[in-house]
């Protein structure tokens, strides 16, 4: 994935065919769910907990809005040019933040689906036909997050 | 005259009932380390949520990474809950506790 241009309004990336497939596979999985850091507080101070139900409801609303944004984003992308491998991806600046949140939700959710491996090697050595989609989404979303953050910092 | 040398309780430090009622408790917002969130992503989130410059955001990110946690805010319950919500929307492991 290559950053072709950056303006005040948007980023324009060139994606290879495989990157395009992985991006759609990753975004289509959103929200993966399954994650949930202990929403609570440090031990001994349960009174400090925000209402867990309210928090879950509020996060659910955020995720629903983001799912609509993902859907709209995927439908708005230009089709591949004839004879040109890959695809252009236009990303308005205002969409970068939700895109990062979505990608990271998929990454964290995939990590949960893989059994929360602590070490990179542990995750890789447990590949199976069932886990491969999670491994791909986990790796691709992390890579994509790094690319987007680098694009933000590109002058 | 030892008794006169004994410090007299400072009545100004006593909290009056009125003060006790109006002084809101303070809450700490804590971000915990995890093996999945990328370091540069955590830095970005801190910049977005707290409006910090990159240097401050990186300092707290490294604190999370090396010490396992970082206190990122000290505020009213309402504000602390808002921060926890925002951080969790970014899938960071954030909690709050009464100071």
pLDDT the model gives residue A56: 82
Q: List the single residue in B38, B90, B97 with the smallest CB-CB distance to A101.
A: B90
Burial of B14: CB neighbours in 10 Å, binned 0-12, 13-18, 19+: exposed
Determine if residue A115 is left, alpha or beta; phi over 0 gives left, psi from -120 to 50 gives alpha, anything else beta.
left
- Closest Cα of chain A to B36: distance in Å? 6
Q: Which pLDDT score, from 0 to 100, does residue A52 have?
A: 74
Residue A96 has pLDDT above 90, yes or no: yes
Q: What's the average model confidence in pLDDT over A67-91?
A: 84
ipTM: 0.85
Terminal alpha carbon distance of chain B: 41
What pLDDT is recorded for position A132? 87
What is the distance between the alpha carbons of residues B77 and B60, in angstroms, rounded to a whole number? 21
pLDDT confidence band for A79 (50 / 70 / 90): confident
Rounded-to-integer distance, Cα A78 and Cα A44, Å: 53
Q: What is the pLDDT of residue A123?
A: 57
Residue of A nearest to B98 (CA): A48
The pLDDT assigned to B2 comes to 37
More confident residue, A38 or B1: A38
Quote the DSSP letter at residue A79: P
Which residue ranges make up each domain of chain A? 2-35+51-153
User: pLDDT, tens digit, for every residue of A5-28?
Assistant: 999 999 999 999 999 999 999 999
Closest residue in A to B97 (Cα–Cα): A48
Structure tokens at B1: 């005259």
Q: In the structure, what pLDDT confidence band is assigned to residue A86 with cuts at 50, 70 and 90?
A: confident
- Residue A10's CB: how many other CB atoms inside 10 A? 14
Which pLDDT does position A107 carry in this prediction? 95
A111 has a chain B CB within 8 A of its CB: yes
For A22-78, what is each residue's pLDDT tens digit? 999 999 999 998 656 655 444 334 444 556 778 888 889 999 999 999 999 988 877
Angle at A141 between CA A135 and CA A144, to 5 degrees: 140
Q: What is the pLDDT of residue B23?
A: 78
Contact A15, A88 (CB under 8 A): yes
pLDDT of residue A118: 79
pLDDT given for residue A31 in this prediction: 92
Tens of pLDDT, residue by residue over B12-58, are 444 455 555 567 899 999 999 999 999 999 999 999 999 999 999 99
Is residue A147's pLDDT more than 60?
yes
Phi, psi (degrees; rounded to nearest 5) at B33: -70, 150
DSSP codes, chain B:
-HHHHSPPP-GGGSPPHHHHHH----EEEEEE--SSS-HHHHHHHHHHHH---HHHHHHHHHHHHHHSEEEEEEE-HHHHHHHHHHHHHTT--EEEEE-
What does A108-143 look like in DSSP terms, one character per residue? HHHHHHTT--SSHHHHHTT--TTTHHHHHHHHHHHH
Report which secondary-structure segment, H or E, holds A147. helix A132-153
Q: What's the whole-number mean pLDDT along residues A128-141?
A: 88
Cα A59–Cα A60–Cα A66 angle in degrees, nearest 5: 90
Q: Which of A44-48, A90-94, B93-97 has the lowest mean pLDDT?
A: A44-48
Q: Taking the domain B35-98, which CATH number applies?
A: 3.30.1390.10
**Nearest chain B residue (CA) to A99:** B90
pTM of the model: 0.83
Contact B97, A42 (CB under 8 A): yes
The pLDDT of residue A149 is above 70: yes
Residue A141's CB is within 10 A of a number of other CB atoms, namely: 29
Q: Does A146 contact B38 at a Cβ distance shorter than 8 Å?
A: yes
Cβ proximity of A100 and A94 under 8 Å: no
């Amino acid at each position: 994935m290559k950053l072709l241009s950056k303006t005040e309004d948007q980023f324009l990336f060139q994606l290879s065919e495989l990157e395009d497939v992985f991006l759609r596979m990753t975004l289509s999985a959103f929200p993966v769910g399954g994650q949930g850091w202990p929403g609570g507080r440090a031990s001994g101070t349960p009174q400090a907990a925000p209402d867990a139900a309210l928090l879950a409801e509020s996060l659910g609303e955020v995720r629903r809005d983001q799912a609509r944004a993902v859907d709209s984003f995927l439908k708005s992308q230009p089709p591949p040019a004839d004879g040109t491998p890959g695809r252009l991806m236009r990303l308005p600046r205002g969409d970068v933040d939700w895109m990062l949140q979505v990608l990271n939700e998929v990454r964290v959710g995939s990590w949960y689906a893989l059994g929360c491996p602590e070490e990179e090697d542990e995750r890789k050595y447990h590949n199976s036909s069932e886990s491969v989609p999670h491994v791909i989404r986990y790796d691709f979303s992390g890579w994509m997050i790094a690319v987007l953050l680098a694009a933000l910092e590109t002058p | 005259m030892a008794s006169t040398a004994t410090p007299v309780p400072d009545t100004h430090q006593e909290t009056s009932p009125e003060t006790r009622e109006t002084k809101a408790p303070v809450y700490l917002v804590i971000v915990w380390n995890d093996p999945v969130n990328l370091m540069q992503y955590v830095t970005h989130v801190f910049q977005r949520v707290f409006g910090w410059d990159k240097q401050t955001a990186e300092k707290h990110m490294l604190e999370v990474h090396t010490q396992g946690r970082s206190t990122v805010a000290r505020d009213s319950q309402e504000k602390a809950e808002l921060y926890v919500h925002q951080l969790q929307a970014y899938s960071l492991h954030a909690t709050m506790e009464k100071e």
